[in-house]
Amino acid sequence: MHPESKDYMAKAFRTHAAGLAPGKVLDVGASGQGGYREIWESKGWTYHALELAPGPAVDVVLDDPWIFPLENDSYDAVISGQMLEHNAFFWLSFLEMARVLKMDGLMVHIAPSRGAPHKGPQDCWRFYRDGMVALAEWAGLECLDARTDWAPEHFEYYGKPRHARMRNEMLEGLRNWGTTWGDTVGVFKKTTPTRDASGMDYIRRFAAMNPAPDKTQG
């Protein structure tokens, strides 16, 4: 994990979690994210690491990458860092993360907006702040904050006066200039039961249009 990621999680905690009563936090894809454990446990939170394979610091192991063996509304916070880009179907995991999060619970994600391929075992996606806002809508969350560390060349591209509005908008969310990964940080609050989220509504519609074959016939 690069140093900026730890800094971003620590800042998200100070800004959004420090005033909350300590509870349970689930770190999704957490085997290499020891810095996050310290951030949360040092403030009295019970930290659980979820991963695809067993390990000395792993508390929850997945049999299926996109189905969590956890009860609904069982965590006060759900976090991830440098996981979403490796997740082939991240929109499914996002619904699962929302499902196990309690109502009004906190969610924090850190993911790159650029950078070289880094397989783990695959490297599938990059994220901008608008993507974090879209995921909030998909999963029944309110996006409290979403920021991207844009690259210097992005500001050069929008350097002309007619692009001042776009340039200023990008500057508002900038934290670190010229970082390798250009991390996007999204902070969310669960405001809608996951069963009522727009993502679940679409899944039900698609399932209704494509019902499973009746295996009792023919």
Helix (H) or strand (E) holding 108: strand 101-111
Per residue in 10-34, pLDDT (tens digit) is 999 999 999 999 999 999 998 655 6
CA–CA distances in Å: residue 44 to residues 13, 98, 131 = 12, 23, 31
Tokens 């140093």: give the residue. 3
Tokens 């850190």: give the residue. 110
190 bridge partner residues? 141
Q: Tell me, rounded to whole angstroms, the distance of Cα 9 from its chain centroid.
A: 12
Point out the residues of the chain with pLDDT beneath 50: none
72 bridge partner residues? none
Per residue in 55-90, pLDDT (tens digit) is 888 999 999 999 999 999 999 999 999 999 999 999
Nearest CA to 140 out of 80, 200, 185 is that of 200
Domains annotated on the chain, with CATH: 3-150+178-208 (3.40.50.150)
> What pLDDT is recorded for position 178?
84
109 bridge partner residues? 80, 186
> What pLDDT is recorded for position 144?
98
Q: Is residue 39 within 8 Å of 15, Cβ to Cβ?
A: no
Q: What share of the chain is helix, strand, coil (3-state, %, to 5)?
A: 40, 20, 40
pTM of the prediction? Answer: 0.94
